Amino acid sequence: MNIKTSKELGDWKLFTLINNQNMEVSILNFGGIITRIIVPDKHGKLENVVIGYRDIKDYQSNSNYFGALIGRVAGRIANSTFNLNDATYTLAANEGAHHLHGGKNGFHQVVWKAEPFETDDTVGLTLTHTSQDKEDGYPGKLDMTVTYTLNNNNQLTVDYQAIATENTVFTMTNHSYFNLSGNLKSMVHQHHVTIPSNHVVELNEQLIPTGKKMNVLNTPFDFRTGRYLMEGFKSNHPQNKVARNGYDHYFIFDQTKKAEVIVQEEASGRRLTINTNQPGMVMYTSNMLDEGLPLNEGSSKRYLGVCFETQASPASLEHDGFPSILLEKHQPYTKQTIFTFDTI
């Protein structure tokens, strides 16, 4: 196992974690961005399974959030305001009237302090950052640590830890776009996904939660026994139409079952299993991905990747009964998501 480091752009550094199976995970200290994940297919061929820019400089804007850490709040905050402890906080609007993924200066734009590490059976990278009180409008100073750990079982673990000086709102995620075909050989229509979720959060035309939970039964949102993503792309269901012919929805995990998402791509034989202690996940199928961007293996296009954004729900700021994003002062935030790669 080893770690390679290279200086890429100014104070940006790229760290590549390599295990004994030749799996590689490349991470920038800028935005905590995962730029590549190299894993074998069923024939042992090593290929990249995430979307990344060809030119490292293109991550400076990264309006699609390729591979980035997202925060302070992943997702959309309606009208860029929220109430907490009888006070109203106003955030920067960066998607119409709304606040998306921590705003224009969110964690995806931060140069994190990075420390690589190695143990007998893991290699990893620890990222730390302090977000100041009222930064981007959020209350409380927030100290954060994100740790990426790769082991010899082809598991990439992402640990999120934080502590705030005031009551605040907070839910982080990673925004990698996965494509298990390898080197972007095909789009994600034939990705077969299983999600233990009975309800999704209904969205309005601006992709803001309506406050309703939609039962997935007899809809293209029922992934409990697995289905192909293309079913949602071709669907006439109003919620698929709202998401521009695909998925951009928060799936609330069934708390009576293990929070385990399984993604398979038959042609390559690759399988991705996602385990988390988060209460749910946004699945986004790149329905609104900018086209023609120069990527490591070609140009961007709709449906080229699928994001699995494990997190709590910003809908809880306006509506009761949704997984809360409240973080009380001095209470540790400890969340974990594990991405395991193998073959069918």
Task: Report the pLDDT value the prediction gives residue 256, as an integer from 0 to 100.
Answer: 95
Summarize pLDDT for 219-273 with one digit per residue, the tens.
999 999 999 999 999 999 999 999 999 999 999 999 999 999 999 999 999 999 9
pLDDT band at 43 (very low <50, low <70, confident <90, very high): very high
- Report, as an integer, the average pLDDT of 7-18: 96
The answer to the question of residue 54 being in a domain is: yes
The answer to the question of residue 144 being in a domain is: yes
CATH number where 329 lies: 2.70.98.10
Mean pLDDT score of the chain, rounded to an integer? 97
Task: Report the pLDDT value the prediction gives residue 218, as an integer from 0 to 100.
Answer: 98
- Report, as an integer, the average pLDDT of 16-30: 98
Task: Report the pLDDT value the prediction gives residue 118, as an integer from 0 to 100.
Answer: 97
**Domain total of the chain:** 1
The answer to the question of residue 196 being in a domain is: no
pLDDT band at 4 (very low <50, low <70, confident <90, very high): very high
pLDDT band at 74 (very low <50, low <70, confident <90, very high): very high
Instruction: State percent of the chain over pLDDT 90.
Output: 100
- Report, as an integer, the average pLDDT of 90-107: 96
Domain assignment of residue 300, given as a range: 2-187+290-343
Of the candidates 230, 207, 246, 270, the residue with the CA atom closest to the CA atom of residue 50: 270
Task: Report the pLDDT value the prediction gives residue 30, as an integer from 0 to 100.
Answer: 98
Of the candidates 258, 260, 257, 254, the residue with the CA atom closest to the CA atom of residue 273: 260
Task: Report the pLDDT value the prediction gives residue 260, as an integer from 0 to 100.
Answer: 98
Summarize pLDDT for 189-207 with one digit per residue, the tens.
999 999 999 999 999 999 9
Task: Report the pLDDT value the prediction gives residue 298, as an integer from 0 to 100.
Answer: 95
Task: Report the pLDDT value the prediction gives residue 49, as an integer from 0 to 100.
Answer: 98
The answer to the question of residue 326 being in a domain is: yes
Q: Active-site residues: which are they?
A: 175, 309
Instruction: Catalogue the long-range contacts made by 219-225 (C-beta closer than 8 Å, 24 or more residues apart).
Output: 221/247, 221/249, 221/251, 223/193, 223/194, 223/195, 223/197, 223/251, 224/194, 224/195, 224/196, 224/197, 224/198, 224/254, 225/194
Summarize pLDDT for 129-184 with one digit per residue, the tens.
999 999 999 999 999 999 999 999 999 999 999 999 999 999 999 999 999 999 99
- Report, as an integer, the average pLDDT of 290-307: 97
The answer to the question of residue 20 being in a domain is: yes
Task: Report the pLDDT value the prediction gives residue 23, as an integer from 0 to 100.
Answer: 98
* Interatomic CA distance for residues 64 and 248, integer angstroms: 13
Of the candidates 343, 18, 31, the residue with the CA atom closest to the CA atom of residue 182: 343
Task: Report the pLDDT value the prediction gives residue 125, as an integer from 0 to 100.
Answer: 98
Task: Report the pLDDT value the prediction gives residue 117, as an integer from 0 to 100.
Answer: 98
The answer to the question of residue 82 being in a domain is: yes
